[in-house]
């Protein structure tokens, strides 16, 4: 028969083991995060070094990026198109449904249009409109 003291000691040891596993998992997760960041920076350097105007870097959406003299940045050669932003939203489940101001058919300002329905006809290759600064940062980074 197990005494009350033995049960308490077992519970204490179990709690210590749980805490140790949690600490180890947190450390492992942080190490993996740091390793991913190092790899991403290294990959970015390689992309930046190899991209030229004649041979741009192409992302997974088919958007072409070229270096700009005097910077360590690649710029897209065209605006983000509806199809590009739509692919980003579909791939990431990003919520870009904040409303925007637009003009109705009489030229009156109205609130509530979105990038999907800006209040005028748009095709997939038109520049996306009605996205916030945060939406743009998320979709390009």
* For residue 7, pLDDT beyond 70: yes
pLDDT tens column, 73-108: 888 888 888 998 999 999 999 988 777 887 777 888
pLDDT averaged over every residue in the chain: 87
Query: What percent of the chain stands above pLDDT 70?
Result: 99
What residue segments make up the domains of the chain, in order of their start? Answer: 1-50, 53-141
Query: What percent of the chain stands above pLDDT 90?
Result: 33
According to DSSP, the β-strands at 64-67 and 57-58 are antiparallel
Residue with tokens 């390009």: 140
Q: pLDDT category, 53, cuts 50, 70, 90?
A: very high
Spatial distance between the Cα atoms of 135 and 141, rounded to a whole number of angstroms: 10
Residue bearing the bigger pLDDT, 25 or 141: 25
- Joined together, the tokens standing for residue 94 give 């990003």
pLDDT tens column, 18-29: 999 999 999 999
> What integer is the mean pLDDT of 106-134?
87
């Amino acid at each position: 028969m197990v005494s009350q003291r033995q049960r308490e000691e077992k519970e204490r040891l179990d709690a210590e083991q749980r805490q140790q596993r949690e600490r180890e998992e947190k450390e492992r997760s942080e190490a993996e995060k740091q390793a991913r960041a190092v790899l991403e920076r290294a990959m970015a350097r390689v992309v930046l070094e190899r991209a030229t105007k004649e041979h741009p870097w192409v992302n997974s959406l088919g958007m072409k990026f070229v270096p700009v003299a005097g910077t360590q940045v690649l710029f897209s050669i065209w605006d983000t198109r509806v199809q590009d932003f739509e692919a980003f939203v579909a791939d990431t489940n990003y919520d870009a449904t904040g409303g925007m101001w637009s003009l109705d058919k009489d030229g009156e300002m109205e609130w509530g249009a979105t990038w999907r329905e800006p209040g005028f006809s748009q095709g997939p290759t038109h520049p996306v409109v009605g996205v916030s600064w945060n939406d743009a940062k998320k979709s390009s980074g």
